[in-house]
């Protein structure tokens, strides 16, 4: 009897520890963390996000680290194509948040941000990141 009782205690722990693959619903929100300004990676992240946004997934792009430079007027010449892509995505409903802390870290003023980019705060960023069923990917 004791072995069965022990098994009944241990079995749920074993079953619960088996990793289950993540699955996405047809309209689960997508949160892209973009922490680089390296163009091949930026272009990949924007393409990936745009594909899934057009399939119906609400999309938030969080620019942090050197990624905040993508949202600046002072770096428009270097990131013209990416800024055009981001502007088109935002016009269709994509939310792009720029990390407030990172702006200061890379020496950018909020006044240097292009129109449409939102400066992050805990409520805005956390609201997107922790929305039910949100899937997150990082570049």
Return the HEC string of 77-112: CCCHHHHHHHHHHHHCCCEEEECHHHHHHCCCCHHH
pLDDT given at position 26: 78
DSSP-derived 3-state class of residue 118: strand
Looking at residue 9, its pLDDT comes to 56
Which fold would CATH assign to domain 25-138? Hypothetical Protein Ychn; Chain: A, (3.40.1260)
pLDDT at 19 over 70: no
Rounded to two decimals, what is the model's pTM? 0.82
pLDDT > 60? residue 12: no
Domain-by-domain residue ranges, the chain? Answer: 25-138
pLDDT of 23 higher than 80: no
What pLDDT is stored for residue 16 in this prediction?
Answer: 55
Predicted confidence (pLDDT) per residue in 77-118, tens digit: 999 999 999 999 999 999 999 999 999 999 999 999 999 999
At residue 25, does pLDDT exceed 90?
no
pLDDT digits (tens, 9 = 90+) for 30-83: 999 999 999 999 999 999 999 999 999 999 999 999 999 999 999 999 999 999
Q: Is 1 exposed, middle or buried (0-12, 13-18, 19+ CB in 10 A)?
A: exposed
């Amino acid at each position: 009897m004791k072995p069965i009782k022990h098994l009944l205690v241990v079995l749920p722990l074993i079953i619960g520890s088996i990793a289950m693959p993540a699955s996405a619903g047809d309209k689960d929100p997508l949160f892209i963390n973009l922490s680089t300004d390296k163009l091949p990676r930026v272009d990949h992240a924007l393409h990936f996000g745009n594909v899934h946004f057009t399939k119906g997934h609400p999309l938030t792009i969080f620019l942090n680290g050197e990624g905040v430079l993508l949202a600046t007027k002072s770096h428009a010449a270097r990131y013209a194509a990416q800024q055009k892509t981001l502007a088109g995505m935002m016009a269709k409903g994509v939310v792009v948040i720029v990390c407030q802390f990172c702006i200061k870290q890379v020496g950018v003023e909020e006044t240097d941000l292009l129109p449409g980019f939102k400066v992050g705060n805990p409520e805005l960023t956390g609201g997107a990141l922790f929305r039910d069923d949100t899937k997150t990917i990082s570049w």
